[in-house]
Structure 1
Amino acid sequence: MRLSDHFANFPAAVLAGISPANPLRRLARVAGYAVLRLGGHVFQPIRNPEQLRGAVWLYVVSANNYEALKFVKDARPDAVLLAGQGKQIGRYGGVVNRLSLRRKILYYWQYPAALVGLYRQVGGRALRFFDLVFYAIGYYEVYRRALRHYRPQAVIFANDHNDDARALLLACRAEGVPTAYVQHASVSTNFPPLGFDLSLLEGQDALDKYRLCGPVRGRVELVGMPKADAFLSQRNTAPRVRRVAVACNLLDELPALADTLAYLLRELPDLVFTLRPHPGDRRDFTALRQALPPLHWSDPQQENVFEFLQQHDALVAADTSTHLEATLLNVASVYYRFSPTPTLADYYGYAAHGLSEWAPALPELAAALARLAQHKPLDLYRRAAYYNATLGTPNEGHSRALALRRLGEWLAATAPAA
């Protein structure tokens, strides 16, 4: 994905945060990674509180991944949550087990050949993102070694495209370890082909998109959204919008976001607006806080997205799966691009499939919210049926139990004979 046209067309400011445009700055980052991360791992001992040998591994790469797989850990005493050494998991960083990456440094002799090979495949893009290639080196070899050492019963993922998750998936195939995938957020047609032995997807939307990504490997089950179960019985029944949630991520540039919020606060003074950055957003919002005192704030490190949405009647956001989560709670969803980028317009297809209302410009956005402030329908959640297979069925609100049943059956079938 990092070497695709889609990634290369991200806004310049977003790309600079991932991989600096200046090659000297990229080189400095590589040097810092080599000294602080690779060198630091060598001298950092790993002491896991749980036994990894023979367990069911729940591999996470973010706080969202943790929340998506925690229900499996709660239900199965043989399951352990784990991440790579040094991986940032937000507020859950201290409670996940770690896979040692001390030996990762031993495989960097492959880097020149890898860079040359990628250059032959994708041209100058390999050099533009030589830092991202550098970070990915060694995961596969280290994870193969870990799999041989611990022999987990299976590995369950909630991410299918990060470099370390892809490396572990390929290592599992090489070592014959069964793999499963629990979808944790909406997917796009830019993702890699679905490549797990068992994939638990939320709904038909995800399956249709994965079929466009390439051949679908293994068994697929549509189980709804397990992380939403506890909240589906608490849908928003307010007949009018009074509190508006605004969600942003790294694709949303701060100046454009500030202009949007200033406009809405001025045009709709009777509504309360709350901004929630993405949990992985490390940008400095101090200037925005000072410029817009009436704006409320949500700390994504302290409350999850459903807790946040429960306090609001409408959502304004660009390309984020928060639109789906809002609609499931009967929170009115309005799609608005703070920073217009034609290649990313309606990235998840929410507007195209009628899940969200699309406001193409600020006047239309204000008009949509003003209309919702007069009347908000009580059946908005029905729009999510294409995305959540259990909606309107006896399994609605019971996706966890359904997912656990499917995982249990699969694990029993893949267990080695006694």
Structure 2
Amino acid sequence: MRFTPLFSALPPATLEPISPNNPGKRLAKVLGYAAVRLVGNMFKPFRNPEQLRGAVWLYVVSQNNYDSLRFIKEHRPDAVLLAGQAKQIGRYNGQVNRLSLRRKLLYYWQLPLVFFGLLQSEGRRAWRFFDLIFNAVGYYEVYCRALRHYRPRAVVFANDHNDDARALLLACVAEGVPTAYVQHASVSTNFPPLGFDLSLLEGQDALDKYRHCGPVRGQTRLVGMPKADNFVRQRNEQPRVQRVALATNTLDDTAGIEAAVTYLLTEFPDLSFTYRAHPSDLRRFEALRTRFPQLAFSDARQESVFEFLQRHDALVAADTSTHLEATLLNLVSLYYRFGQHGVADDYYGYAAHGLVDRAFTLDELGQLLRRYVAHKPADHYQRAAYYCATLGTPDEGRSQQLALRELDAWLATTAKA
């Protein structure tokens, strides 16, 4: 995804923490990575609390990944959660096993070959994202070595597009290790083709999008959203909207966010509002905190998205899979873009498929919200049926059990092979 037109067109504020626009800053980032991650990993001791040899690996690259795969760990005594040696997993940093990356430095002799190959195929983007190329070198070789050493029974992923996750997937294919995938969030048509032996997808939407991305490898099963099981049984039954959640990500413009918050809190003084930024967003929004003391804040690093949504009746957000999670809990979800950046318009297709109501202006947003303040339908959650295969079926609220049955049966088959 790093060399797609969509990625290159991301707003500068979004790209900056990923890959700085200034070449000097990119070089400094590369040097910092080399010192802290490459050289630093060689001298940083670690000891895994669990046995990795012969286990079912649950590979995570984020806090959300951990939440999405934890139910497998709780079910299977042979499953272990693990990540790369220095990968940040939020509040679960100390609870995952680690794969050593100490030898990653040994493979940087390949960097000139990789870079000039990408320069020929990708042109100027190879220069623009040189730091990301630098970071990715060596993952594949290190992970191939780890697979040969530990010989895991299988590797289960919740991410299919990060550089380290892709490297491990390719290493598994090369070393003959079975792979499975549990979808952890909504997908888009910009994702890589589905390349796992078994893919447990949430619904028809995900399968249709992956078919658009390219050939679908292996078996696919539609199992709903396992991470939502404990919450869909507690759907919001309020007949009118009184508590509104505002969720943003790094794509959303600061001025646009402030304008929307100002409008909503002024127009709806009787409603309560809570603001939640994406966990990777470093902005503090001090102006909002000072100007609107009645505005509550949720820390995405400490409070899960479902815990956050449970306290509300409606959600206002732009491009985030939180829309789907909100609708499943019977919150009214309203799509509004905080700013006019030219990428990711209706990125997940939620507005196009009727999952959410869309407002193009603040006045339209106000009109939609007033409608739901007057009355919120009790069956609003049924809009999510295209995205969640178990909705309205006997397996609703039992996606974890369904996913585990599929996974157990698949693992039993791989053991016989």
**Paired residue for 1:271?**
271
Whole-angstrom distance in 2 between the partners of 1:165 and 1:260 = 36
1:130-166 Cα offsets, whole Å, 9 max, x none, are 0011110110000000000000000000000000000
- Give the 5 Å matches for 1:103-142: 103-142=103-142
Residue identity over aligned pairs, in percent, reads 69
Alignment of 1:2 onto 2:18: no
C-alpha distance in 1 between matches for 2:284 and 2:252: 13
Aligned to 1:244: 244
Query: Aligned partners of 2:127, 2:168: CA distance in 1, in Å?
Result: 25
What is the letter of the counterpart of residue 233 of structure 2?
S
Q: Does 1:230 align with 2:249?
A: no
- Letter in structure 1 aligned against 2:123: G
Partner of 2:145: 145
Matches within 5 A, 1:15-414: 15-414=15-414
* Alpha-carbon distance in 1 for matches of 2:55, 2:243: 45
SS class of match (1:98): strand
Q: Equivalent residue of 1:3, what SS?
A: coil
Q: Distance in 2 between matches of 1:330 and 1:387?
A: 14
SS of the equivalent of 2:408 reads helix
Distance apart, 1:370 and its partner CA: 1.5
Deviation at 1:11, TM superposition (A): 1.1
C-alpha distance in 2 between matches for 1:190 and 1:73: 30
What is the CA-CA distance between 1:280 and the residue it aligns to?
2.6
State the distance in 2 between where 1:343 and 1:34 align: 32
Shift of 1:321: 0.5
SS of corresponding position for 2:343: helix
Question: What letter is aligned with 1:31?
Answer: L
Counterpart AA for 1:11: P
1:273–1:300: structure 2 CA closer, same or farther, 3 Å change rule? same
Give the CA deviation at 1:256. 1.7
- Structure-2 separation of matches of 1:89 and 1:288: 28
Other structure's SS at 1:115 match: helix
Output one character per residue of 1:199-229: Cα deviation in whole Å (capped at 9) or x when no partner.
0000000000000000000000000000011
Deviations 1:148-190 (A, max 9, x none): 0000000000000000000000000000000000000000000
Alpha-carbon distance in 1 for matches of 2:308, 2:71:
20
**Following the alignment from structure 1 to structure 2, what is the Cα–Cα distance between the partners of residues 293 and 223?**
42
| Whole-angstrom CA distance in 1 between matches of 2:126 and 2:271 | 48
- When normalised by structure 1's length, the TM-score is 0.98
**Structure 1 residue matching 2:155: 3-state secondary structure:** strand
User: 2:253 and 2:343 mapped to 1: Cα distance?
Assistant: 16
Shift of 1:342: 3.6
Mean CA deviation greater in 72-81 or 9-18: 9-18
- The offset of 1:278, in angstroms, is 1.5
* Runs of 4 or more above 4 Å deviation: none
Q: Distance in 2 between matches of 1:252 and 1:231?
A: 28
For 1:329-362, what per-residue CA distance to the aligned partner results, in whole angstroms no more than 9, with x for missing partners?
Answer: 0000000010223431100000000000001111
- Structure 2, gaps ≥5 residues long: none
Describe the SS at the equivalent of 2:83.
strand
Deviations 1:111-138 (A, max 9, x none): 1111110010010011000001111011
SS in 2 for 1:58: strand
1:62-105 deviations in whole A, cap 9, x for unaligned? 00000000000000000000000110100001100000101111
User: 1:416: how far off?
Assistant: 4.7
Tell me which moved more, 112-121 or 160-169: 112-121
Residue aligned with 2:355, SS: coil
Distance 2:165 2:340 in 1: 30
Q: Which amino acid in structure 2 is aligned with residue 23 of structure 1?
A: P
CA distance in 2 between partners of 1:233 and 1:256 (Å): 35
Q: Please, what TM-score do these two structures have when normalized by structure 2?
A: 0.98
Q: Separation in 2 of the partners of 1:352 and 1:342?
A: 18
Q: 2-side partners of 1:411 and 1:47: how far apart?
A: 28
Distance 1:416 1:250 in 2: 46
**Which segments of 5 or more consecutive residues in structure 1 lack a partner in the other structure?**
none
What's the secondary structure of 2:392's corresponding residue? coil
Report the 3-state secondary structure (helix = DSSP H, G, I; strand = E; otherwise coil) of the residue aligned with 2:194: coil
Match of 1:343, SS state, is coil
The CA distance in 1 between the partners of 2:19 and 2:145, in whole Å, is 29
One-letter code of the match for 1:371?
A: R
**CA apart distance, 1:301:** 2.1
**Residue identity matched to 2:14:** V
Q: Which amino acid aligns with 1:21?
A: N
Task: Give the partner amino acid of 2:363.
Answer: P
